Every structure is written in C-alpha cells, then in structure tokens.
C-alpha cells in the first residue's frame, strides 16, 4: 500500500498526538484549558444546566495537599489546578467551588513535565514560598 507525503505526515502527526501526553504528563492536563465544554469543563451541579456565572478559568486537574509541616491558613486545604489566560494556577478547592478566583498561586510546567510552584512569581511583601510555608522572612531580611 502506497501513501503520499501528506498522508504520511497526517499519520505520523496523529500517532504523535496520541503518544505525547504519555511522555509529557503536563500535556495531558492542558489539552483544552480555555473551553467551557468537554471533559475539562470542571464540576457542575447538574450536567444538564448551564452555570449561572461563567468562570474565567478552566479546571485542569487536582493538586495534592501541602505537607503538614508547611501548612498555613493560606494553604491548609486541597488546591485545584486551574488554567487562566496567563498560565496555570493552584486555587483553593473551597474557593473554586464557590466560583472565586483569588487568591491563586502561580504554577509552572517543569522541563520533565511535572507541575510545580512558580517561585519567580510576584508575591507582595514577601517571597511566595515564605508565604506558603509560614516563614515571613524573605531572603533580603535574613
């Protein structure tokens, strides 16, 4: 069976799109981050009813609880990974289900495909990791 160049490229591209999410786990999370329909549309009370208030983000997966030694009032609950136009964020699960968008914690995708906290993000008055762990001393203060 002969295949022309465009047919071959379509076949290779189709196979690559099926394999890539298994090789780079984060690609599995961000397939359609800005759509309000489909499997990534987020939780709904009743699938037959539209949401009253459309959300400016898209839920893309769960976020593990922070370790007990690092819990503060800010991060003691479970966080949901959500996608906004400017990137991925961790949003407190309770706030997410209330329809709130703040406070949210910026995330980044590492080269190996894992998602981690974005330590370079701006956090007023202190660095972000100090805010999460309860250590209020920034590097400049020590």
Q: Report how far apart, in Å, the C-alpha atoms of 8 and of each of 16, 18, 21, 96, 141 are.
A: 12, 16, 21, 44, 60
Where are the domains positioned within the chain?
A: 5-38+57-133
Q: In what order do the strands lie in the sheet with 58-63?
A: 58-63, 79-84, 87-92, 104-109, 115-117
Q: What length does the chain have?
A: 142
List pLDDT tens digits, range 85-141.
Answer: 666 777 777 777 777 776 777 776 666 666 666 665 545 554 555 555 555 444 444
**Statement: the pTM of the whole predicted model exceeds 0.85:** no
List pLDDT tens digits, range 16-53.
Answer: 666 655 555 554 444 444 444 444 444 444 444 444 55
């Amino acid at each position: 069976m002969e295949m022309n160049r465009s047919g071959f490229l379509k076949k290779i591209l189709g196979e690559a799109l099926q394999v890539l999410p298994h090789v780079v786990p984060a690609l599995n999370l961000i397939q359609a981050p800005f759509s309000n329909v489909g499997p990534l549309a987020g939780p709904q009370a009743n699938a037959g009813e539209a949401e009253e208030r459309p959300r400016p983000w898209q839920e893309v997966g769960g976020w593990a609880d922070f370790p007990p030694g690092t819990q503060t009032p800010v991060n003691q609950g479970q966080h949901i990974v959500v996608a906004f136009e400017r990137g991925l964020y961790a949003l407190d699960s309770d706030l997410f289900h209330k329809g709130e968008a703040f406070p949210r914690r910026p995330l980044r995708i590492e080269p190996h495909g894992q998602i981690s906290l974005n330590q370079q993000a701006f956090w007023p008055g202190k660095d972000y990791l100090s805010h999460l762990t309860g250590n209020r001393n920034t590097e400049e203060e020590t």
